[in-house]
A and B are shown apart, each in its own frame.
Chain A
Amino acid sequence: MSTEVVNEIKEQEYFINMGPQHPSTHGVLRLLLSLDGEIIKNVEPHLGYIHRSIEKMCEKDTYKMIVHLTDRMDYLSCHMNNEAVCLAVEKGIELEVSDRVKVIRTIMSELTRLSSHQLWWGVMGMDLGAITSFLYGFRDREMIIDIFEETCGARLTMNYNVPGGVMFDIPNNFQKRVKEFIIYFKKKLPEYDDLLSNNVIFKARTEGVGILSKEDAISYGVTGPSGRASGFSCDIRKQHPYSAYDRVDFKEILYSEGDCFARYKARIDEMWESMFIIEQLIDNIPEGSARETTRAVIKLPKGEFYQKVETARGEFGVYIISDGKKSPYRLKFRSPGFSTLNALNTMAKGSKIADLVAIMSTIDLVIPDIDR
């Protein structure tokens, strides 16, 4: 080959598809990488592999039915998604739920956050080559899932919140089980640090990798633990408290580094905070009705209603435009994963392919949430 041809080949970028069937994308996400050797020059996410047009489906469903569709978006924070829809509908019909419902919802949301972070921790370890952590994460998550199963009747797609309250009152031994779990998990969470956080290989692969500056986090709208690891204070629970978050005391976890390790630490610290919130609430669940009676078919008055909540991945918003009928005229979900995915290119540019796996797992993507 002449030197010209060789030089031209050297200069050419080459493209590689990561996904849609790739174990580290946690779902059917396709990333089109353009590479220079092993250095990433550009990442372009391609969506649409599991699009189910949930927003369009909502336009024909009643408000009670919409709740169960949100389970199928971010299935790891389904309880918070349900809550967002219920709060928006309750805003519309001007219904104030009882204190009991507020506290139950808050406890359930925090349990969901814990279970989501446990799963993320396990999967994160596995992405970086440590299968052990996957089993440990699932072991601890199982206790929470059992609590959910006893309370809501389902293990993943709970559909526990309904407009006006919760579907069933909590069972008698709910408090006992939750307290048992907190005692258990307080012993087990330091194990997570021993296994992964302090591990020298893990640190080498995450520290200083995939840095997202505060400015970029804000302009891309990266919220949740990923945003807070870049120093962007965006906790909805603190800034726009809903349910019972105004009566509990907790810290907003902020880091300034913005790298993979900071995002990792932010989630580990959030688990401690979640347990702290549950501890404050679990002993004083107020008496009252667990569900206000609503009409069989709820109709929202004409107007626009918005409610945002903090899911395990960030800010989740529900925007309903109602024309007074039994189903919304238009409904829009603001899902945290979609915004976070947009920042992937900024984070991954200039790093190696192996680092992209670490970045992907620390931003904790759930694909059905992005592609709904």
Chain B
Amino acid sequence: MIKSIIKYIKEVLGGLKSLLKGMRVTGYYISHPKEIITQQYPENKDTLKMFDRFRGEVILLHDENNEHRCTGCTACEVACPNGSIEIISERVLNPETGKKKKEIDKFIYHLSMCTMCNLCIESCPTDAIKMGRNFEHAVFDRSLLTSVLNRPGSKLAPGVED
């Protein structure tokens, strides 16, 4: 009888001790605010920098002369697992050589279907596309997620051959 009472009291005290141990951990963090790692997004937007490799969206690179490097070879379109890229190209007469040459008309990108898998970037022979670091894609209408990546009036950079 006495034994069981002692065992019971021991259990209660042991349980209390284990609870206090847990409370000690919590107490430590209350008294050490430096250990808190929470980031205040979006307040820290100006200082928030994503890593270089972060995959947020596919972008078509343009240089300062509004020239891109996409030849319209559709390698990325084929490599994409879910049809997020559509290339519409046309044959344009080159006045210098007098030959017809393929040029992209529209580089359509459906962000809503893209899984950010990086396969299109890898397949591009001319490094025309890249993963962008923007991750704030929320919009009110789904159709806004489809965009034409080549800027109006942009041309193929000279010297890029497929």
Measuring CB to CB, which residues of chain A are less than 8 angstroms from any residue of chain B? Answer: 61, 64-65, 68-69, 132, 139, 142, 149-154, 157, 159, 167-168, 171, 191, 194-196, 198-201, 203, 296
Contacts and interface: CB of A to CB of B under 8 A. Distances in A.
B74 interface: no
A242 B18 CA distance: 41
Given A64-B119, A153-B55, A157-B116, A200 B15 contact: yes
B53 A200 contact: no
A152 B53 contact: yes
22 contacts: A65-B117, A65-B119, A68-B115, A132-B22, A132-B26, A149-B50, A151-B53, A153-B53, A153-B54, A153-B118, A153-B131, A157-B115, A157-B116, A167-B118, A168-B53, A194-B22, A194-B25, A195-B22, A198-B18, A200-B14, A200-B16, A201-B19
Which A-B residue pairs are the 9 nearest by beta carbons? Answer: A200-B15, A153-B53, A65-B81, A68-B117, A153-B55, A150-B51, A198-B18, A194-B21, A200-B18
Contact of A61 (B81, B118, B123): B81
Nearest to B22: A195
B1 interface: no
Nearest to B81: A65
B117 A195 contact: no
Nearest to A130: B22
Given A149-B51, A150-B53, A153-B53, A69 B14 contact: no
Interface of B: 14-16, 18-19, 21-22, 24-26, 37, 50-51, 53-55, 79, 81, 115-119, 122-123, 131
A107 B79 CA distance: 29
Contacts of B21: 194, 198
B126 to A, nearest CB: 15
Contact of A194 (B14, B24, B79, B116): B24
B20 to A, nearest CB: 10
Contacts of A195: 22, 25-26
A139 B25 contact: no
B162 to A, nearest CB: 14
Nearest to B122: A167
B18 A68 contact: no
A50 to B, nearest CB: 16
A130 to B, nearest CB: 9
The secondary-structure label for the interface of chain A is helix
A320 to B, nearest CB: 17
Contacts of B19: 199-201
A308 B26 CA distance: 41
Given A61-B81, A153-B116, A167-B118, 12 more contacts: A64-B79, A65-B119, A68-B115, A69-B81, A152-B53, A153-B51, A153-B54, A157-B116, A159-B117, A159-B118, A168-B53, A198-B21
Nearest to A155: B54
B116 A154 contact: yes
B14, B25, B54, B116 pick with most chain A CB within 10 angstroms = B25
Contacts of B116: 153-154, 157
Contacts of B122: 167
Nearest to B116: A154
Contacts of A191: 25
A199 B18 contact: yes
A154 B81 contact: no
A167 B116 CA distance: 13
A111 to B, nearest CB: 16
Contacts of B51: 149-150, 153
A168 B54 CA distance: 12
B123 A296 contact: yes
Given A68-B115, A68-B117, A198-B18, A142 B26 contact: no
A168 B122 CA distance: 11
Contacts of A69: 81
Contacts of A61: 81
